[in-house]
A and B are shown apart, each in its own frame.
Chain A
Amino acid sequence: MGEERHKDKIVVSNNTRFLSDVRNFISKMVGVSHIPSTEVNKVVLAVDEAVTNIMEHAYGVNEEGTIEIEVEVDLRQFRVYVRDSGKSFNPDEIKDVDMREHVKIGSKKGLGIFLMRQIMDEVRYQFKEGISNELLLVKYIPHGAE
């Protein structure tokens, strides 16, 4: 079996109106991968949540900034690097949510991180000199997937 690799990236400004561009880009990249069709919506959602968190927490509302989303695909993994130069934000510091408690008090905190962890096989954060923040999301592609 030959090694099949794809790599591409998109850069968006810090504005939630660009979330649809991010989703379209991830959909396109999922399309060239072997991720099972049942997982497509979830992977798009996980990246949307990552970018939304940056827009809401790393950057302030109306603050100028950009977010780079780079995807690397091979037969085994779908890797998404999300990079920004806003405030450092480590998702490892966010605990999983207790949904019944959240609903009781009407809290919406931590839902995005919770979804990313539910969907992706790896969620790793790194502070990188010159970039500031890099979040790596990895989805393993089952062997023999279509």
Chain B
Amino acid sequence: MPSFQITRENLQNGAKLLTLKGFLDAHTYEELENEVNMLFDAKTYKIVFDLSSLDYISSAGAGVFIGAIGTAQENDGNVILMRPSPNVKEVFDLLGLSQIFTFVDSKEAAVKALAD
């Protein structure tokens, strides 16, 4: 089984939901970075990441979100993070990113956050 998997889903108003599963580290982050770049190439700047099945994240993984949020916001979009596990949320807290990113508990809340 691959150590990291991404599944994709369309949300309302052209937003995309990416569900991340497994381990997001220096070995796997490029897969996510490529996925995000493909969305940007397709002019999709409203992205929700479901982190509920993400077991682990290191700074290499967090770096993908840091790299993405600026581009998303410059293009009237945003990056919304949904349901991180306590271990994953802890890494965002340690990096001081929890005040910068919007965290939500449901798809509905994510869509609402993107509309605000």
Q: Which residues of A contact B (CB under 8 A)?
A: 16-17, 19-20, 23, 41-42, 45, 48-49, 52, 55-56, 99-100, 102-108, 111-112, 114-115, 118-119
Docked CA distance A16–B100 (Å): 29
Complex contacts, A56 vs chain B, CB 8 Å:
26
B66-A106 in contact (CB<8A)? yes
Q: Per a CB cutoff under 8 Å, which of A17, A55, A103 touches B100?
A: A103
Complex contacts, A115 vs chain B, CB 8 Å:
58-59, 91, 94-95
Residue of A nearest to B91 (CB): A45
Residue of B nearest to A18 (CB): B27
A102-B66 in contact (CB<8A)? yes
Knowing A19-B26, A52-B26 are in contact, say whether A111-B63 is a contact too (CB < 8 A): yes
Q: Per a CB cutoff under 8 Å, which of A52, A104, A107, A114 touches B25?
A: A52
Q: Which residues of B contact A (CB under 8 A)?
A: 3, 23, 25-27, 56, 58-60, 62-63, 66-67, 69-71, 87, 90-91, 94-97, 100
Complex contacts, A119 vs chain B, CB 8 Å:
94
Docked CA distance A45–B56 (Å): 9
A111-B95 in contact (CB<8A)? yes
Docked CA distance A119–B58 (Å): 13
B25-A16 in contact (CB<8A)? yes
Complex contacts, A16 vs chain B, CB 8 Å:
25-27
B60-A105 in contact (CB<8A)? no
Smallest CB-CB A-B distances: 9 pairs: A108-B63, A111-B59, A16-B27, A99-B96, A52-B26, A41-B87, A106-B67, A16-B26, A112-B59
Can you list 18 contacts pairing A with B, beta carbon distance less than 8 Å?
Answer: A19-B25, A19-B26, A41-B56, A42-B94, A48-B25, A49-B58, A55-B26, A99-B95, A99-B96, A99-B100, A100-B100, A102-B66, A103-B97, A103-B100, A106-B66, A108-B60, A112-B60, A115-B91
